[in-house]
């Protein structure tokens, strides 16, 4: 019985440690950030930059990517909806705006998802959930404005969004160029039938 209980405790601790592995962190300015550096030993900075630009343009078509201040850097921004409540009574709680920064060098690139700002929703007179005008809360100040349970729920959704976005960035950077080999054109003879 002790061995089974010990095994369950170890399994639970491993699961908690694994879940915290890819969570949000704080940067130097005490702002939430999702940051990764990835080595690509066979690719050069210009190729990685072009792939990053293509990703940013396809990821959020409503916002065009912008060239960053540093060399081989690009920025894009967007927003997504977070939900509050339990699964059956779930409703839109608000929207989170964010910024993605991608910087490339020879044989490596890094990306940062940051500048999270929460804009709460409310019901309008037609029953639709719409943003409350004039209220924007930086993610770092969510604990002071909202409860811990609600803030933790939003942070989990943001971390999930960041993990999914990171996998899409990785796919975009790993893609192999398509080589189109010219296939011989088949000619049909209409004289012999």
Is residue 143 in some structural domain?
yes
What confidence tier does 14 reach under pLDDT thresholds 50, 70, 90? very low
pLDDT tops 60 at residue 3: yes
| 40 three-class SS | coil
143 HSE (CA, 13 A, CB side): 4
The pLDDT, as a whole number, for residue 90 is 82
Q: Which residues, including other chains, have CB under 8 Å from residue 132's CB and lie 6 or more apart?
A: 119, 120, 121, 122
130 HSE (CA, 13 A, CB side): 9
Mean per-residue pLDDT, 21-31: 79
Is residue 192 in some structural domain?
no
The pLDDT, as a whole number, for residue 40 is 84
Is residue 153 in some structural domain?
yes
The pLDDT, as a whole number, for residue 127 is 87
Q: What is the pLDDT of residues 27-65, one digit of tens each?
A: 888 889 999 998 888 888 888 888 989 998 888 888 888
Is residue 28 in some structural domain?
yes
Query: Percent of the chain having pLDDT more than 70?
Result: 78
Q: What pTM value is reported for the model?
A: 0.75
What confidence tier does 19 reach under pLDDT thresholds 50, 70, 90? very low
Is residue 4 in some structural domain?
no
Q: Of the candidates 97, 55, 63, 92, which has an alpha carbon nearest to the alpha carbon of residue 79?
A: 97
Is residue 161 in some structural domain?
yes
Q: What is the pLDDT of residues 56-115, one digit of tens each?
A: 888 888 888 888 777 888 999 999 999 987 777 888 899 999 999 999 988 899 999 999
Per the structure, the count of domains in the chain is 1
User: For the domain that residue 68 is a member of, what is the CATH number?
Assistant: 3.30.530.80
The pLDDT, as a whole number, for residue 117 is 95
Is residue 107 in some structural domain?
yes
Q: What is the pLDDT of residues 111-137, one digit of tens each?
A: 999 999 999 999 999 988 899 999 999
Is residue 121 in some structural domain?
yes
The pLDDT, as a whole number, for residue 186 is 64
The H or E element that residue 161 is part of is: helix 148-174
Range(s) of the domain holding residue 89: 24-174
Phi, psi of 146 (to 5 degrees): -130, 165
pLDDT tops 80 at residue 6: no
């Amino acid at each position: 019985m002790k061995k089974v209980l010990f095994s369950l405790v170890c399994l639970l601790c491993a699961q908690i440690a694994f879940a915290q592995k890819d969570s949000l962190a704080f940067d130097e300015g005490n702002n939430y950030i999702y940051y990764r550096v990835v080595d690509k030993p066979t690719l050069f900075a210009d190729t990685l930059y072009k792939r990053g630009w293509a990703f940013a343009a396809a990821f959020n078509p409503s916002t065009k990517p912008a060239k960053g201040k540093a060399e081989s850097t690009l920025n894009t921004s967007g927003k997504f909806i977070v939900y509050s409540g339990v699964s059956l009574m779930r409703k839109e709680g608000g929207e989170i705006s964010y910024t993605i920064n991608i910087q490339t060098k020879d044989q490596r690139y890094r990306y940062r998802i940051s500048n999270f700002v929460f804009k709460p929703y409310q019901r309008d007179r037609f029953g639709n959930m719409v943003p409350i005008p004039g209220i924007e809360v930086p993610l770092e100040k969510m604990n002071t404005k909202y409860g811990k349970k609600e803030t933790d729920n939003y942070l989990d959704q943001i971390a999930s969004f960041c993990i999914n976005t990171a996998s899409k960035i990785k796919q975009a950077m790993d893609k192999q160029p398509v080589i189109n080999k010219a296939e011989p054109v088949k000619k049909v003879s209409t004289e012999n039938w």
